[in-house]
Amino acid sequence: MNDRYDLDTLTNAKRIHILGIAGTAMGTFAGMLKARGLEVRGSDAAAYPPMSDQLAIQGIPLMLGYAPENLDWGPDFVIVGNVIRQVNPEATAMRDRGLPHASFPEAFGHLFLNDRRPIVITGTHGKTTTTSLIAWLLEHGGARPGLFVGGVPLNFGRSFRLGDGTPFVVEGDEYDTAYFDKAPKFLHYAPQVGVITNIEFDHADIFANVEVIEGWFERFARLLPPGGRLVVHGAEARARRAAAAALCPVETYGRGAALRAAGLDAPNWRAEDVSLDSDGATFHLWQGDRDHGVFQSPLPGLHNVDNTIAALAVVLGDGIPPETARQGLALFKSVKKRQEIKGIVHGVTVIDDFAHHPTAVRETVSAIAARHVRQPGARLFCCFEVESNTSRRRVFQDDYAPAFAGASAVLFCKPLDKPDNLPEEARLQLPEVVRSLEAMGIESHLIPEVDDIIAWLVPRLRDGDVVLGMSGRHFHGFHDRLLAALKARDMARP
């Protein structure tokens, strides 16, 4: 197959070591291998919840720090995560010892998808929620799907399931695969059903511009066989252009108003009469001229209405009856770190979210404000960690401040420092973002340490207020530490 491994070596491996095991995808894959009956261990530079908790619960040993001796336990195969560079000391030792190795997407595709029907969900935003919802609706409909997703769906309690039915629902990431394979992960998943939610510029560390990203999505579209299905957001021009490369039927979806505004008058799937309230969203679903009735989604925000339409398009097209899907949707519990309520202390609600791209920030802030900031005089405090490879870069300098519209105050901790030698002039300039927010009439501060952010918040928070902490990592334990500080404040009051 190549000079790194042959397929028999991979399929017959019993002891597997994973480099970068605490990443969302890698930790999930570790759990799948363990569930398959293999002995699995791995290493990483650091680990934090929820993946560190998942590894511990499953009894998968984690070695912190990369070192050649981490391989001394005698694995017969190594999986290499995309955070690993060629010069990594453990990767170097792996090659020096002649250990067969593959990327996670390569191994996953060979071990888990060859005899299944992959349903692959792609796009810049909405992948995790849409993937989780599709899997849940199929499960509720009795299809017993497999699942691989970059989050923890609360209906399943973990980020994977093997399933024993034909469908296997996969979150298809456009980020690159490994140091020896710089193409997107989703090219390894052999989709038979595909979804493209949207295409925006992201991952500024590896993509030069959005046109390059769109080109990779065109390649994804061409992977689908003529007898497959590609479901694409009809109001997203780049997504539609990429989908035009497909050899299979393409089905469009979206909210009717947005589709018409984009000039698409004949979508396959559309939601009409959309309304948002404190319980989520209600809409009327049409498939062409066919009326599927009213659906109630527990997910907040218009962006989640789009995610829900995509999921319904997939499962209804797969034969799940509309009434079954309607019941399953009402029972969906969302995903950890997606508008997840971490706790409520004396009327103050603390929410965790993964948002880091300006579009995701905007949609999340809007949804949280509409759903949770409802008492007269209640305020929304947004706390944001600049930590992703995109958010750390100046490319979105002018986009972050408008994304926080609707917040009463916005607080930033110091940006995450990474060993990538990103020059200062290429970095997001938070003082400029703070000034832009102040010019919008939104109080904003750069408070470097999380302890000091909590100290600033605690005396100001009152009944009805909401604190939204956004980070793709653990945010230095911000949410739990804030809840503890609020409890201590209220206990100390006479």
Mean pLDDT, rounded, for 16-22: 97
pLDDT in tens, 141-150: 999 999 999 8
Note the pTM of the prediction, 2 decimals.
0.92
- Is the pLDDT confidence value at 19 over 60? yes
Which position has the token pair 């957001």?
233
Q: Is residue 197 part of a domain?
A: yes
Query: What is the domain extent for residue 40?
Result: 7-106
Residue 108: per-residue pLDDT = 97
pLDDT in tens, 67-119: 999 999 999 999 999 999 999 999 999 999 999 999 999 999 999 999 999 99
Domain of 393: which CATH number? 3.90.190.20
Buried b / exposed e across 322-347, counting CB within 10 Å, b at 16+? Answer: bebbbebbeebebbbbbbbebbebee
Domain boundary among 106, 140, 170: 106
Burial class for 69, CB neighbours closer than 10 Å (0-12, 13-18, 19+): exposed
Number of independent structural domains in the chain: 3
The CB-side HSE value for 7 (13 A sphere, CA atoms) comes to 6
Q: Is residue 124 part of a domain?
A: yes
**Band of residue 16 on the pLDDT scale cut at 50, 70, 90:** very high
Beta bridge partners of 18: 42, 79
Do 254 and 394 belong to one domain?
no
pLDDT in tens, 457-471: 999 999 999 999 999
For residue 331, give Cα distances in angstroms to 159, 183, 351: 18, 37, 21
pLDDT in tens, 384-440: 999 998 899 999 999 999 999 999 999 999 998 888 788 889 899 999 999 999 999
**Band of residue 49 on the pLDDT scale cut at 50, 70, 90:** confident
Which position has the token pair 């501060």?
445
Q: Is residue 154 part of a domain?
A: yes
Q: Is residue 494 part of a domain?
A: no
**Band of residue 253 on the pLDDT scale cut at 50, 70, 90:** very high
Do 122 and 59 belong to one domain?
no
Residue 1: per-residue pLDDT = 56
Q: Is residue 48 part of a domain?
A: yes
Residue 267: per-residue pLDDT = 83
Question: What span, in angstroms and rounded, lies between the C-alpha atoms of 491 and 361?
Answer: 34
Q: Is residue 200 part of a domain?
A: yes
**Band of residue 204 on the pLDDT scale cut at 50, 70, 90:** confident
Domain boundary among 85, 106, 127: 106
Residues 6+ apart with CB under 8 A from 181: 103, 106
Q: Is residue 1 part of a domain?
A: no
**Band of residue 494 on the pLDDT scale cut at 50, 70, 90:** low
Residues 6+ apart with CB under 8 A from 401: 433, 436, 437, 440
**Band of residue 24 on the pLDDT scale cut at 50, 70, 90:** confident
Domain of 32: which CATH number? 3.40.50.720
Number of other CB atoms surrounding residue 166 within 10 Å: 15
**Band of residue 160 on the pLDDT scale cut at 50, 70, 90:** very high
DSSP per-residue codes, 325-382: HHHHHHT---BTTSSEEEEEETTEEEEEE---SHHHHHHHHHHHHHHH--STT--EEE
The 3-state DSSP class for residue 408 equals: coil
pLDDT in tens, 410-421: 999 999 888 878
Do 188 and 169 belong to one domain?
yes
Q: Is residue 368 part of a domain?
A: yes
Number of other CB atoms surrounding residue 12 within 10 Å: 10
- Is the pLDDT confidence value at 449 over 60? yes
pLDDT in tens, 300-354: 999 999 999 999 999 999 999 999 999 999 999 999 889 999 999 999 999 999 9
